[in-house]
Chains A and B, each alone.
Chain A
Amino acid sequence: MADLSEYRFTESHEWVHVESGVATVGISDHAQSELGDVIFIELPVVGAVLKAGDRFGTIESVKAASDLYAPVGGTVTGVNDQLADAPERVNADPYGEGWMIRLNHVDDNAALLDEAGYRAVGGS
């Protein structure tokens, strides 16, 4: 189990991990489990500017398509290109190799939940 003490969560099941001013974003283990096998992920281009709560992409699983929302605002500096050929990484390692985007110039979002808070709303 990943150490999630530094991760923050949205109620829409994205996570963000800020380290040295760079925010990495993905979806939670609970979310990948609910979605089932991920087929494809549409991600923004590098340079896109997001506000907290903006839709930044779509994730398609066998079961359903779901929108992805930015937990924090910022400028997209990286997208996980590996997911184009291996979207199953989101299922296998949602907090690690399944990351989706990186942002800098991060605007913090006070509404985020810590691990215990996220569990309390049914996530994990």
Chain B
Amino acid sequence: MGRHTQLYDRHVAAGARMVDFAGYDMPLQYSGIRDEHVAVRQRAGIFDVSHMGEVTVTGPGAPDFVQRLVTNDVGRLVPNQLLYSVMCNERGGIVDDVIVLRGGEDNHFLIVVNASTREKDVAWMHEHAGSDVEVEDRSDQLALIAVQGPRAADILEPLARMDEGGPGLRELRPFFATGLSLAGVTDSEVQRISRTGYTGEDGFEIYIDSDRAGQVWDAIIEAGAAHGLLPAGLGARDTLRLEAGLRLYGQDMDDDTDPYSVGLGWTVKLDKGDFIGAAALRELGGTPPRRFVGLRLSPRTIARHGQTVLQDGREMGVVTSGTYGFTVGTAVATASVNSGFDRDGDVAVDIRGNVAAAEIVPLPFYKRPKGDG
């Protein structure tokens, strides 16, 4: 039996099918992946993502340490701003992809890491932290609830009281966070709410003391009912993130993948000053060994992780993620292809011995309509 989040009993009571994910028993689906996917695209969904890791970095050396730890430029963050980045090893391989939040106070950062890499990441941070930095794994004290979809702001606004002087929920810009009290839980217990997510929709992520997570979850479920909000599991989270072109660590990349090869070169800021992996990445930048492409297939041929990508009958790469995109209405996949790959050539995927035609398309497969957030 895996570990349970604070919300485990609620998932079981709601009829969720539970699966092991990174050592946690997590909801795979409640009413069905299709239902939940469509709810998030058209209305709203609520996800328990408390298995994600949260690490605080504090102390006088924190700003320099975080800047050395990740490839993106955290020096340009203002208080309460978040940034997507990768964290590389000396070879330029990706240790993890993370979200960095610069806290409201000086020298305070929160780094959100993947559940499957949490222990590795925390050890990596400790290994590189100097005596003027404190790294603390807060994952077991913090729950993380994501509310995603065009109605997310409508659902949360009546429940929220924002920091005095802080922006209202609706005014909160993408990749910014604020403090607030929510559903009667004080703002010191609801630590942060950020306008971020992993679905391609407008939405919010709520970092909350784990013993208050149930109260907030229940209030959002209740308030969301009139808006058609559904609880959504890891199944829909995966179909939504893949349509939105978002990467998944462990599947699309690992310790041997450099950020350029997985289309994350935009997170590498070589001119920001030294950081772990900078020298290796400077060399790789011009000639990454692999490229990351989007593939569109027929609705009847779902490509899966690990299947071979063919060009003119030759093996040219491998599928990193594949699923059925319920919103785009066909099978979609991402693939890592070698540098000789011709973007304009014919492409196919070997799906259990059947050669299925594919079309190279730009990522993301799905972009939400403008004007809803």
How many chain A residues have a CB neighbour from B under 8 Å?
A: 13
Choose the segment among B153-161, B214-222, B296-304, B337-345 that binds chain A (4+ C-beta atoms closer than 8 Å): B296-304
**B300 — which chain A residues lie within 8 A by C-beta?**
40, 42, 60
B34 A37 Cβ-Cβ under 8 A: yes
Q: Which of B33, B351, B352 contacts A62 (CB 8 A)?
A: B33
| A82, CB-defined interface residue at 8 Å | no
Can you name the residue of chain A whose Cβ is closest to the Cβ of B28? A36
Interface of chain B residues 253 through 304 with chain A (CB within 8 A): 299-300, 302, 304
**A119 — which chain B residues lie within 8 A by C-beta?**
none
Interface of chain A residues 9 through 43 with chain B (CB within 8 A): 33, 36-37, 39-40, 42
**B33 — which chain A residues lie within 8 A by C-beta?**
36-37, 62
A36 B29 Cβ-Cβ under 8 A: yes
B299 A88 Cβ-Cβ under 8 A: no
**Interface code B224-236, partner A: CB below 8 Å = 1, 0 otherwise?**
0000000000010
A39 B324 Cβ-Cβ under 8 A: yes
A36 B304 Cβ-Cβ under 8 A: no
A88 B302 Cβ-Cβ under 8 A: no
A65 B239 Cβ-Cβ under 8 A: no
Distance, CA A65 to CA B354, complexed state (A): 13
Distance, CA A33 to CA B352, complexed state (A): 23
| B17, CB-defined interface residue at 8 Å | yes
Can you name the residue of chain A whose Cβ is closest to the Cβ of B324? A39
B235 A36 Cβ-Cβ under 8 A: yes
| A63, CB-defined interface residue at 8 Å | yes
Using C-beta atoms within 8 Å of the partner chain, give the interface range for chain B: 10 to 19
B304 A62 Cβ-Cβ under 8 A: no
Distance, CA A36 to CA B302, complexed state (A): 14
| A91, CB-defined interface residue at 8 Å | yes
A88 B34 Cβ-Cβ under 8 A: yes
Q: Which of A33, A62, A91 contacts B235 (CB 8 A)?
A: A62
**A91 — which chain B residues lie within 8 A by C-beta?**
32
Looking at the assembled complex, report how far the CB atom of A25 sits from the nearest CB atom of chain B, in whole angstroms. Answer: 21
B32 A36 Cβ-Cβ under 8 A: yes
B17 A62 Cβ-Cβ under 8 A: no
**A42 — which chain B residues lie within 8 A by C-beta?**
300
A33 B17 Cβ-Cβ under 8 A: yes
**Interface code A30-74, partner B: CB below 8 Å = 1, 0 otherwise?**
000100110110100000000000000000101111000000000
A40 B352 Cβ-Cβ under 8 A: no
Distance, CA A36 to CA B239, complexed state (A): 13
B235 A63 Cβ-Cβ under 8 A: yes
**B28 — which chain A residues lie within 8 A by C-beta?**
36
Distance, CA A39 to CA B324, complexed state (A): 7
A37 B32 Cβ-Cβ under 8 A: yes
| B50, CB-defined interface residue at 8 Å | no
| B323, CB-defined interface residue at 8 Å | yes
Distance, CA A105 to CA B235, complexed state (A): 41
User: Which A residues form the contact surface with B (CB < 8 A)?
Assistant: 33, 36-37, 39-40, 42, 60, 62-65, 88, 91
User: Which B residues form the contact surface with A (CB < 8 A)?
Assistant: 17, 28-29, 32-34, 235, 239, 299-300, 302, 304, 323-324, 331, 351-352
Q: 5 A–B contact pairs at CB < 8 A?
A: A33-B17, A36-B235, A62-B239, A64-B304, A65-B304
